[in-house]
Amino acid sequence: METYKIPLVWQMYGHCNVEANSLKEAIEIALGPDTPLPAGVYVDDSVAVDYEVLRIG
């Protein structure tokens, strides 16, 4: 029997508190590279195989 390395992706749901002057700015900050991802909860049934990565590997 062989062992396979299968790339998986899934979704998490969480909130982060952002100080900003507007909602637009808060969204930009939240999506920026300097904002750490918050602790989250797994979104049910969101796990899937990343077939793009699987083809490359």
Is 3 among the domain residues? Answer: no
Kindly report the pTM of this predicted structure: 0.67
> Residue 57 pLDDT more than 70?
no
Residue 45 lies in a domain: yes
Asked if residue 7 lies in contact with residue 49, where contact means CB atoms within 8 angstroms, the answer is yes
Residue with tokens 């982060």: 16
Residue 1 in domain: no
Residues in the chain, how many? 57
Does residue 34 belong to any structural domain of this protein? yes
- The count of structural domains within the chain is 1
Among the ranges given (28-32, 35-39, 43-47), the one the predictor scored with the smallest mean pLDDT: 35-39
Which residue range forms the structural domain that includes residue 25? 8-56
